[in-house]
Amino acid sequence: MPHNHNQPPARYWHPVADGRIQCDVCPRDCKLHEGQRGACFVRMREHDEMVLTTYGRSSGFCIDPIEKKPRNHYFPGSSVLSFGTAG
Ligand code: SF4
């Protein structure tokens, strides 16, 4: 697949005052400059948007209610990022 172009825009992020954009998916709250990847290496800032770099490659990528997860008392009502890649 072509890399880093026409990646699908991701949800759950917002701009912050210093010009970075902050991911809202998990408690790491990554704040990204243009071209930076988040700590998970799944989400990346490109052209002032958050994109998913594993789209089309991961075996599964979804936002589930956190109650589905074993850590169901961690952040009740919040979202949890789930993904797997080949292997
Ligand atoms: S680690 Fe990934 S999902 Fe978590 S806040 Fe950073 S970019 Fe978002």
Q: Which domain holds residue 30?
A: 13-84
Q: Looking at the domain assignment, is residue 70 inside a domain? A: yes
Decide whether any atom of ligand 1 lies within 6 Å of the 63 Cβ.
no
pLDDT tens for each residue of the chain, 87 residues long: 444 556 677 888 999 999 999 999 888 999 999 999 998 888 888 988 888 876 555 455 556 565 555 555 555 555 666 666 655
SS3 per-residue string spanning 26-75? CCCCCEECCCCECCCCCEEEECCEEEECCCCCCCEEEEEEHHHCCCCCCC
Identify the residue whose C-alpha is closest to ligand 1 atom 2.
40
Q: Looking at the domain assignment, is residue 20 inside a domain? A: yes
How many A from CA of 29 to the centre of ligand 1?
6
CB atoms under 10 Å from CB of 30, counted, come to 21
Number of structural domains, the chain? 1
Q: Looking at the domain assignment, is residue 33 inside a domain? A: yes
Task: Give the pLDDT score at 86.
Answer: 59
Q: Looking at the domain assignment, is residue 7 inside a domain? A: no
Q: Looking at the domain assignment, is residue 25 inside a domain? A: yes
Tokens of 75: 């952040």
Please report where in the chains the tokens 């770099």 appear, as a residue.
Answer: 53
Decide whether any atom of ligand 1 lies within 6 Å of the 39 Cβ.
yes
